[in-house]
Amino acid sequence: MKIYEFMARRNLPSTYTGKILLVSFLGVHVPMFGAVAYVLLADTTPFMQQIDVLIAMLIATLIGTAATMFVMNALLAPIAAATQAADGYLRERKLPRLPSRYTDGAGVLMASVQECITRLDGSMAATELRRAQIERDYTAKFKIIAGMRHDFRTPLTHILGFADIMRAEAIGPIGTEAYKKYLAKIGNSGSDLLKTLNSVLDLSDNEVRSQMIEDSVDVDLVTLARDAIALEHLHAEKRGVTVELQASDHAVAHSVEDVIKNLLIALLQAAIGASAAGSKIVLSIADDQSIRLSSPGGRLSLEDVPPQLSDLVDGEVRSAAGSQATIAETSTPMTLRLSLIHSLATAISADMRMTQKADAGYEIGIALEQQAPSMAIAAE
């Protein structure tokens, strides 16, 4: 990798094929130049008597070089095809058709890229289908619950309020004692129905909570943090940002693994995307199951913070556009990322705080709900 990194950093040549052809050219011509220099300097034969031999060597070398470069360029076609296949899938999700029957290094590369893309596409399709199904199920369920809240609770509140007004004879006297008894029955029946409705709604909320508890497992936050940093390595390297992990060997928490993993990735993406080239961000995992991401050279602007999350910021947040308004008039990519982080934290009952420091950048802290790990993990 050292030679490749040396040439890649200097961008000479800019393409990988160009680097291979340059090395091939030098490999053919350096020995030829050495041989010519030796003939000219060491041999006492007059130059004009040697010129025909030198011209023949030059012509043969040029023909050999052209043929070598042509064949080398053709042999690099599998690498170019694999590169284009991976880039096409990442950009347009276009499935390639690479040959997979060859057994040398280039053939294995193409077959591996083809298999990886095929498996990835199948997994993504299944995940998207499952996600769509879950969203439909939960959307239908919560629509019913939301309808119950509005369609039942509000009219019941009105009925109970009217019954209380009539029993108190606030508007005028009730004609007979029988009407008062009926009003008492209306009020009592409405109260009972409202209690039943509240119980159903509380039961639904508890079901959601129980589902989260059921999905929770013992996870090692440090391992998930290392995985998230590895996944975002390419993003950080392209931005010229260094990511440092500060944690002990293990930090076990009892939570939903997929949510924690996506939360860590979202934190890194937010910090990397908003950091300048050459800066460093620090991801810290404490033994008390708290997660903290620090950007010593970064700043949160008013436009970065969603209005509904402004109460979660400790410290002064000013407009990057120079506006004197207290509410952001525009948004940034950071706005959506912070909203995503807050949504993921809320899904696992975690608390989120953001701290804007006057001279040391900003921090995003996630405090997980304290739950004891299982006995198996605790014993380890």
Over range 212-241, report the average pLDDT. 85
Q: Which of 75, 97, 129 is the last residue of a domain?
A: 75
Give me the number of domains the chain comprises: 3
Largest CA distance in the chain: 141
What confidence category does residue 224 fall into, taking pLDDT thresholds of 50, 70 and 90?
very high
More confident residue, 176 or 110: 110
236 and 344: one domain? yes
270 and 339: one domain? yes
Over range 63-86, report the average pLDDT. 83
More confident residue, 254 or 245: 245
Q: What is the pLDDT of residue 379?
A: 43
Cα–Cα distances (Å) from 131 to 145, 255, 280, in that order, read 21, 20, 35
- Return the CATH number at 287: 3.30.565.10
Q: What is the pLDDT of residue 232?
A: 86
More confident residue, 350 or 139: 350
6 and 42: one domain? yes
124 within domain boundaries: no
Q: What is the CA radius of gyration of the chain?
A: 35
**Continuous H helices in 76-104:** 77-92
Cα–Cα distances (Å) from 14 to 10, 19, 28, in that order, read 8, 8, 21
Question: Cβ(299)–Cβ(361) under 8 Å?
Answer: yes
222 and 333: one domain? yes
Question: Cβ(79)–Cβ(110) under 8 Å?
Answer: no
SS3 state at 293:
strand
228 and 357: one domain? yes
365 and 322: one domain? yes
Taking the complete model, does pTM exceed 0.95, yes or no? no
Q: What is the pLDDT of residue 199?
A: 61
Over range 198-210, report the average pLDDT. 58
Task: Summarize pLDDT for 273-282 with one digit per residue, the tens.
Answer: 888 888 899 9
123 within domain boundaries: no
Q: What is the pLDDT of residue 324?
A: 62
264 and 188: one domain? no
Is 50 exceeded by the pLDDT of residue 71? yes
Among 25-29, 133-137, 183-187, 249-253, which range has the highest average pLDDT?
Answer: 249-253
122 within domain boundaries: no
Residue 275: its H or E element: none
234 within domain boundaries: yes
Is 60 exceeded by the pLDDT of residue 380? no
254 and 344: one domain? yes
244 and 345: one domain? yes
Is 60 exceeded by the pLDDT of residue 205? no
Which of 69-78, 179-188, 225-234 is predicted with the least confidence, judged by mean pLDDT? 179-188
What confidence category does residue 90 fall into, taking pLDDT thresholds of 50, 70 and 90?
confident
Q: Which of 57, 75, 93 is the last residue of a domain?
A: 75
204 and 225: one domain? no
User: How, if at all, do strands 313-314 and 351-356 pair?
Assistant: parallel
Q: Which of 52, 75, 98 is the last residue of a domain?
A: 75
297 within domain boundaries: yes
Share of the chain above pLDDT 70, in %: 76
What confidence category does residue 378 fall into, taking pLDDT thresholds of 50, 70 and 90?
very low
Beta strands in the chain (DSSP E): 217-220, 242-247, 252-255, 280-285, 290-295, 313-314, 351-356, 362-367
CA dist 167 and 227 (Å) reads 66
257 within domain boundaries: yes
Which residues on adjacent β-strands are paired with residue 295?
362
In which domain, by residue range, is 331 found?
Answer: 218-378
184 within domain boundaries: yes
Which residues on adjacent β-strands are paired with residue 290?
367
Quick one: CA dihedral 208, 210, 215, 219, positive or negative? positive
Closest CA to 287 of 242, 235, 222: 222
230 and 327: one domain? yes
266 within domain boundaries: yes
Q: What is the pLDDT of residue 375?
A: 43
Is 70 exceeded by the pLDDT of residue 69? yes
What rounded mean pLDDT belongs to the chain? 78
Backbone φ, ψ for residue 93 (5° rounding): 55, 45
Task: Summarize pLDDT for 279-334 with one digit per residue, the tens.
Answer: 899 999 998 889 999 988 888 888 888 888 888 988 888 887 666 666 656 677 78
48 and 165: one domain? no
